[in-house]
Amino acid sequence: MFRTARFNGAKLLSGDYPARLQVLERLNTVFYMPREEVENRFTKYFYEYFQRIFECPFSFPLYSEFCNHIFDVANAGGKRVLDVGCGFGLISIHFGVFGSQRVVGTDLDADKIRVFQKLLELLHISNVEPKLGDILDLEVSERFDVVICNEVISHVRNFELCLERVYRCLEHGGVLYISDCNNSLNFLHKKELAKRLSKQGVKPFSQSSDAGQFAERQFNPLVVVKALGSFGFEARLLRPFFVSQHKRYSGRVCKKVASEVLRFFYPISIVASPKFEIVAIKS
């Protein structure tokens, strides 16, 4: 048996649902697996992508808290949800656990979708469906009440086309949630990221593959809000929400204090934070 972190059910879940809490605890056991087992059972990239959690598996409830934040902001309870660029599907899985009626997670990376499917089989979740495909090319026949774009817009090859496809997928009055850690208003983060990409031999903020993925493109959140308005959305910026992950307790406390200070000084925090969050309603 793997150890699991203790979850605060009242904080993470809407209501007292022990069965749902058990699903999160089973998911947490994955992050207590030895690296070799994770890479053999899933993929090497899965470990590398979530290395911070694998190195500190007791911090997994903080990630669940972030998923719960998105769930609450998007008002996704009992709703049909499309998770665009879902990656390995952890946000989709959380939404299914928290109480969304149906969740479809799409991604153009076949390896990520395979890991997503393996996680669903491990957890026995029936209201979450992985789907391989690019949102720009994907033909979605059904409509959704909520669309999630977490760390997606800085990697799509055509931002305007992405918004158009999302708009068509949403029901009238539906909610679009956008979050991204490439805030061009934060000059220090932009400079640091450009330096890191250059060291990796990648031209910063430009198209990096034939598949259309971009190397961490930067976005001005105010421009994104304006673009959403031109597509028929009513959009607003949110106070930044941070997950205080760190190996040491003192580090987590410091990060938590820093994040609360940034949130307190909203809207100045929009410039100080590398991350921005936007909620938009299809009018």
- Identify whether 166 is part of a domain: yes
Q: How many domains does the chain have?
A: 1
Q: Whole-angstrom Cα distance, residue 280 to residue 283?
A: 9
Q: Which among 97, 100, 82 has a CA at the least distance from the CA of 28?
A: 97
What pLDDT, on the 0 to 100 scale, is given for residue 214?
A: 54
- Identify whether 51 is part of a domain: no
Helix residue ranges, H only, 138-273: 159-169, 187-199, 221-230, 249-264, 269-272
What pLDDT, on the 0 to 100 scale, is given for residue 2?
A: 34
Residue listed under structure tokens 């934070």: 273
What pLDDT, on the 0 to 100 scale, is given for residue 243?
A: 67
Mean pLDDT by 10 residues, the chain (283 residues): 39 55 93 97 96 91 92 96 97 95 95 97 94 83 93 89 93 96 82 74 58 67 95 91 63 64 69 89 94
- Identify whether 155 is part of a domain: yes
Domain membership of residue 188 as a residue range: 58-282
> Residue 178 maps to which CATH number?
3.40.50.150
What pLDDT, on the 0 to 100 scale, is given for residue 151?
A: 93
What pLDDT, on the 0 to 100 scale, is given for residue 137?
A: 83
What pLDDT, on the 0 to 100 scale, is given for residue 1?
A: 31
- Identify whether 131 is part of a domain: yes
Q: Whole-angstrom Cα distance, residue 166 to residue 155?
A: 15
- Identify whether 156 is part of a domain: yes
Q: Whole-angstrom Cα distance, residue 204 to residue 214?
A: 9
* Contact of 271 with 217, CB cutoff 8 Å: no
Q: Strands (DSSP E) along 108-259, which ranges?
A: 128-132, 144-150, 170-180, 233-237
What pLDDT, on the 0 to 100 scale, is given for residue 142?
A: 84
- Identify whether 26 is part of a domain: no
